[in-house]
Amino acid sequence: MGKTVFKLNSAGVRELLKSTEVAEECRMHAQAVQSTAGEGYIVEPRNYAERSGYAVSADTMKARLDNFYNNTLLKALR
């Protein structure tokens, strides 16, 4: 078997990472984590120069403490 070498098109990859389709997929995964984590967690959009996505974070003090003591967000990713 021979080696296969390929070179990524940086502009194409950047365009893909900033596309609405990828952002929508990230939003769906973030909402699934939020619903698993429970009450007090929010989904926030994150936009960077090279990509866009979503983050789930604790919004209330009760949720922050829950995440601190139980790693709720980490467990919700599984």
Helix, coil or strand: residue 42: strand
Among all chains, which residue has been given the structure tokens 């922050």? 64
Phi, psi angles (nearest 5°) of residue 40? 95, 0
* Tens digit of each residue's pLDDT (9 = 90 or more) over 20-65: 999 999 999 999 999 999 999 999 999 888 889 999 999 999 999 9
**pTM score, whole prediction:** 0.80
Q: Give CA–CA dist 36/40, Å, rounded.
A: 11
Helix, coil or strand: residue 72: helix
Write out the H or E segment, with its range, that includes residue 58: strand 52-58
At 56 the pLDDT is 96
Residue 1 pLDDT > 80, yes or no? no
